[in-house]
Amino acid sequence: MTLFARNQWYVVAYAAEVGEELLGRTVLGEPVVLYRSEQDGRVVALADRCVHRRFPLSESRREGDTIVCGYHGFRYDRGGACLSVPGQSRVPRTARVAAYPVVEQDSLVWIWVGDPAAADTSWVPRAPHLVDPAMTTVCGMEPIEADYGLLVDNLLDLSHETYLHGGYIGTPEVAATPITTEVDEEAGVVRVSRHMSDAECPPFYARSTGIEGRITRLQDIEYFAPCLYLLHSRISPAGRQEPVFRTEITYAITPSAPGKVYDFWAVSRDFALGDEEVTAFLRDFNHTVVIQDVNALNLLQRALDSEPTAYQELSINIDTGALAARRILARLAGAGADRDRVA
C-alpha cells in the first residue's frame, strides 16, 4: 500500500456538497463530519466520533450551528467544544472533538488532518479554472476500493486511454506517442506531456467541439502531489492554428483509508459555454470514463490482494511520470521508495 502523507491539504468535498445536512467522509483514515455554518457560511469539519462512546456524529442531528450526538445527546459547537451533556450541568473539560483546518477555494473544500501547527493555508493548491466564468465545468466524485497509488499511476500514464477508454477518449495515437516528463522533486510536481499533431478525434471531443476529421491534440499533465492533478488539454483541427478548444480536466485524489480512495473529477471547457446539450453529454460521457477507471482499479486491487507479498512489476518509458510520483509520495510520507525499477 502507498503510505499516506499526512501533513498535506486534501480535497474532502465539493463546496456545493456541504450545506445544512451533516456529511460524513473519511480522509487518511480519519472520520470527518462536515457542515456549513448558518452564522457565517463557513465550512465546519470535526472529528466524526462523539467523545463519549465514539458514536458517529455524521449519523446525528444538527441544531443550528451545533451537532447533537444521535446516541446520548452530547452537543458540540463549530470548534468541537462540547456545550452540554445529559444528566448533569457540568461539562467535563476534556469533552471536545478535533476541529480540522479547512479552506474553501475554487469550488473545493480542502482539509488538513495532519499536525495542525503545520497547516499553512497559503499552501493550498489552486484550480481557478473550476470557477472561471469563461469556462463551464461538470464534475462528480466516485469512491474506489483501491490503494490511492493505483489512481495516481492511472492518471500519470494516459496511454491507458487507448485501451481502457477506447471509443470514449482514447485513440491509437495516445498509446503510440512518446511522452516527455519533467519532475520538480523539491516542489513535489510531476509534469508529463504528450503532443499528437495528427490524431483521430475521439467521440469525447468530436461531439463536444463539432470538429470533423483529424486533430492536433496536446495533453499536458501537472500533478501537484499528493492530491491535485490537472490535465491541460488543447484540441484543434489538424494542420490549423485555430480554433483551439481548451479543456481543463481536474482530479483530486484523496486517500480515504488503506485501500480506499475518493476520485473527484471535473471537466472544464472554454467552448459551447451555454450549451446544455454539450454539458449533459460531457457529464455523462466523463462519468462513464471514470466508471471504467473505477471498475479497472477495483479489479486490479483485488488481483493485487491475492499476490504474494513481493510481486514484480515491469516499468517502461510511459511509467516515468508515475514512478516519479511514487518517489515524491514516499518522500512526503516520510519513507524511502525502493520498489520501482525501469526495465
Residues in touch with a second copy (CB under 8 A): 29, 31, 49, 51-56, 59-61, 68-73, 85-88, 92-95, 153, 157, 159-160, 162-164, 175-179, 257, 296, 299-300, 303-304, 306-307, 311-318, 343
Give min distance, CB of 158 to a second copy, in A: 10
Give the whole-angstrom CA distance, residue 225 versus residue 52: 37
Nearer of residues 137 and 159 to a second copy, judged by Cβ: 159
88 beta partners:
85
- Closer residue to a second copy, CB minimum distance, 39 or 90: 90
Minimum CB separation of residue 326 from a second copy in Å reads: 12
The residue among 12 and 68 lying less far from a second copy, judged by its C-beta, is 68
Least Cβ distance, residue 10 to a second copy (angstroms): 18
The whole-angstrom separation of Cα 339 and Cα 322 is 13
Nearer to a second copy by C-beta: 208 or 320?
Answer: 320
C-alpha cell at 208: 463536444
The answer to whether the CB of 64 falls within 8 A of the CB of 37 is no
Taking the complex as a whole, how short is the minimal distance between the CB of residue 49 and a second copy, in angstroms?
7
Least distance to a second copy from the beta carbon of 271, Å?
29
Q: Closer CB to a second copy, residue 157 or residue 248?
A: 157
CB-nearer residue toward a second copy: 123 or 163? 163
Smallest gap from residue 71 Cβ to a second copy (A): 5
Q: Output 303 or 335, the one with its CB closest to a second copy.
A: 303
**C-alpha span between 77 and 93 (Å, rounded):** 14
When the beta carbons of 103 and 300 are compared against a second copy, the nearer one is 300
Kindly give, in sequence order, each residue whose CB lies less than 8 Å from that of residue 264, ignoring residues fewer than 6 positions away. 11, 14, 108, 139, 140, 141, 250, 251, 252, 253, 254
Task: Give the strand pairing for 189-199 and 102-105.
Answer: unpaired
Decide the pairing of beta strands 245-257 and 260-269: antiparallel
Kindly state the cell numbers that stand for 331: 518522500
Give me the least distance between CB of 194 and a second copy, in Å please.
9
Residue identified by cell 519513507 is 335
Task: Give dist(CA 106, CA 111) in Å, integer.
Answer: 14
Query: What are the distances in angstroms from CA 115 to CA 100, 101, 110, 172, 335?
Result: 10, 10, 15, 46, 17
Write the burial class of residue 219 (CB in 10 Å: 0-12 exposed, 13-18 middle, 19+ buried): buried
Question: Considering the complex, what minimum distance in angstroms separates the CB of residue 93 from a second copy?
Answer: 8
